[in-house]
């Protein structure tokens, strides 16, 4: 395997998420154990750092919203499990907030490199702020990459999760700036006869701009 590919990962949207077994703050986990649930796998640069601490608190405060969507949060950094435990205990002591999801101790960076979480132009060891949204079948549906200096927007991650789940459920696509409960867009016609049917539907419903942009 090419060294650069091996070091930086080849995870792409639409592929099966690479399985792993890892030590976490909640014991040993395997990714495949989560089949049937959506997964939000996210990395952070380091424990006991300011932005990462705000993110952990934000994810913890939003945990029930992910649970309502059949989604599990899994954190990761290259810090040790003992460091993770000390950090989340310090958060608890200072805020009363319990971190209700596992944080992976990826000491050798094996998982981080497999998923391309380490940007060698930024750091050869620390992860940047990656988010992978993996569906209930284990398929990578989306990913986000934030730089070390910018904390994540949890509502946007929830919006993406809602959008993907709505798209699957409604067999539709999701327009710009969509939020949960707003109209979704019909998939474009694939044949001329389907195009003609869409035109007829639009003439009756007036629910769209053209045959290629209409709302459900």
Q: What is the pTM of this model?
A: 0.90
d(CA 8, CA 55): 24
Task: State the pLDDT confidence band at 163, using cuts at 50, 70 and 90.
Answer: very high
Distances (CA, A) of 106 to 29, 85, 118, 172, 215: 12, 14, 12, 38, 45
What pLDDT does 135 receive?
A: 98
What pLDDT does 127 receive?
A: 76
pLDDT tens digit sequence for 125-161: 567 799 999 999 999 999 999 988 999 999 999 999 9
Based on the residue annotation, tell me whether 52 is a catalytic residue of this protein. Answer: yes
**CATH no. of 3-152:** 3.40.30.10
10 Å CB burial of residue 59 (0-12, 13-18, 19+) is: buried
What pLDDT does 50 receive?
A: 96
What pLDDT does 124 receive?
A: 55
Domain boundaries, the chain: 3-152, 183-214
What pLDDT does 21 receive?
A: 96
pLDDT tens digit sequence for 68-120: 999 999 999 999 999 999 999 999 999 999 999 999 999 999 999 899 888 66
């Amino acid at each position: 395997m090419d060294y650069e590919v091996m070091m930086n990962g080849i995870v792409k949207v639409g592929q099966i998420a690479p399985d792993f077994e890892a030590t976490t703050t909640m014991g040993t986990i395997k990714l495949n154990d989560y089949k049937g649930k959506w997964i939000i796998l996210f990395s952070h640069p380091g424990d006991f750092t300011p932005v990462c601490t705000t993110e952990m608190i934000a994810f913890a405060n939003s945990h029930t919203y992910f649970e309502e969507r059949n989604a599990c949060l899994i954190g990761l950094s290259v810090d040790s499990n003992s460091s993770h435990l000390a950090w989340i205990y310090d958060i608890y002591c200072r805020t009363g907030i319990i971190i209700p999801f596992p944080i992976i101790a990826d000491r050798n960076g094996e998982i981080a490199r497999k998923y391309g979480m380490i940007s060698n132009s930024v750091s050869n060891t620390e992860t940047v702020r990656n988010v992978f949204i993996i569906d209930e079948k284990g398929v990578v549906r989306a990913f986000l990459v934030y730089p070390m200096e910018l904390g994540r927007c949890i509502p946007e991650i929830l919006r993406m999760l809602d959008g993907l789940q709505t798209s699957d459920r409604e067999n539709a696509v999701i327009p710009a700036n969509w939020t949960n409960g707003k109209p979704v867009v019909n998939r474009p016609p694939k044949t001329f006869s389907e195009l003609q049917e869409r035109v007829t539907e639009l003439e009756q419903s007036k629910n769209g701009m053209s045959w290629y942009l209409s709302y459900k």
